Amino acid sequence: MIRVDHLGMTYPGGVRALAPTNLEFHAGEFTVLLGPSGAGKSTLLRCLNLLIAPSSGTITSATLGELKGRRTIRRHRRSTAMVFQQHQLISRYTALDNVLMGRIGYQGVWRSLLPLPVRDKVFALACLERVGLIERALERVDRMSGGEQQRVGIARALAQKPKVVLADEPVASLDPATAQHVLSLLHRICKDENIAAIVSLHQVHFAKTFADRVIGLAQGRVVFDGPPGVLARTALERIYATKEGTVTQHDVEEARGAGLPLPQFLPLQTLS
Ligand code: ADP
């Protein structure tokens, strides 16, 4: 379990990306964050990993208590894996070496300068097997397709033996069929390992397929929190409501994907 109380983020320069928010995430729960660009999805994910320091509020983990102090934060990061849109792999390295990076957090500073133990390699190979890439273990990742690279990214996350996976638009740069495949893989692994997954997505239909819970964000606020079954048109309108004059092409595509014609966008201030 990971809980945030009054978690808020205002970036230097004054952009309030996240209004003070209370949320709880549970083991084995697959949560999808939905919302237009700029809604605060990445900010929430980065705060949960303390990649950025929130400007207000606290984060509490069931095992570590309130996350403060270097040691606690390091232990939290070790058990919290990230999957990124652009994979963040080291392109010249093999799939195996990239996955082994997921084990580094378990080594002390001195130990990490030495070759990793055989048991770490065996575990990394097992992670690659889980994502169907064992036979490509020694191939450089820059010779792989986008979908394969993201599967290496998932294997690297898994190598961390995480309790929580934070995925920031993990399938945004993939074609629809590959995106479906990669997401179902991520979903199955998180379910099998009882991992709390928090995944930001643009595609409402994927949220409906995979999420146990959808959190809708609009302009840094949670405007929906519930199972995808009750994610009705009104909720989608809330999530995708955009300030007049700031509707982007991207928003239009999202609205179309959600089955919302553009005229149904509501100015945020009309929402209760
Ligand atoms: P999303 O992931 O939903 O697209 P973000 O969390 O990236 O949204 O951004 C939320 C808001 O915070 C946006 O207005 C964005 O421009 C702003 N923002 C994000 N990162 C920074 C930053 N490093 N410095 C200043 N403003 C930022």
Query: Is ligand 1 within 6 A of the CB of residue 17?
Result: yes
CATH number of 2-79+163-270, picked from 3.40.50.300, 1.25.40.10, 3.40.50.2020, 1.10.274.10: 3.40.50.300
pLDDT tens-digit map of 137-154: 999 999 999 999 999 999
Among 9-23, 32-46, 147-161, 250-264, name the one with the lowest average pLDDT.
250-264
In our burial notation (b when 16+ CB lie closer than 10 A, e otherwise), range 120-141 reads bbebbbebbebbebeebbeebb
- The pLDDT score that the predictor gives to residue 114 is 64
Instruction: Give the ligand 1 atom nearest the CA of 35.
Output: 3
42 Cβ below 6 A of ligand 1: yes
Domain ranges in the chain with CATH number 3.40.50.300: 2-79+163-270
Q: Which residues have CB under 8 Å from 268's CB, separation 6+?
A: 218, 219, 241, 242, 243
Angle at 72 between CA 8 and CA 77, to 5 degrees: 70
The sign one gets for the Cα dihedral 102, 67, 216, 230 is positive
Looking at every residue in the chain, the average pLDDT score rounds to: 87
> What is the pTM assigned to this prediction?
0.87
Pocket test for ligand 1, best of 9, 11, 219 (most atoms within 8 A of CB): 11
Q: How far, in Å, from the CA of 239 to the mean position of ligand 1?
A: 16
Give the lowest-confidence range in 37-41, 54-58, 73-77, 244-248: 244-248
Instruction: Give backbone dihedrals phi and psi of 5, rounded to 5 degrees, phi first.
Output: -120, 120
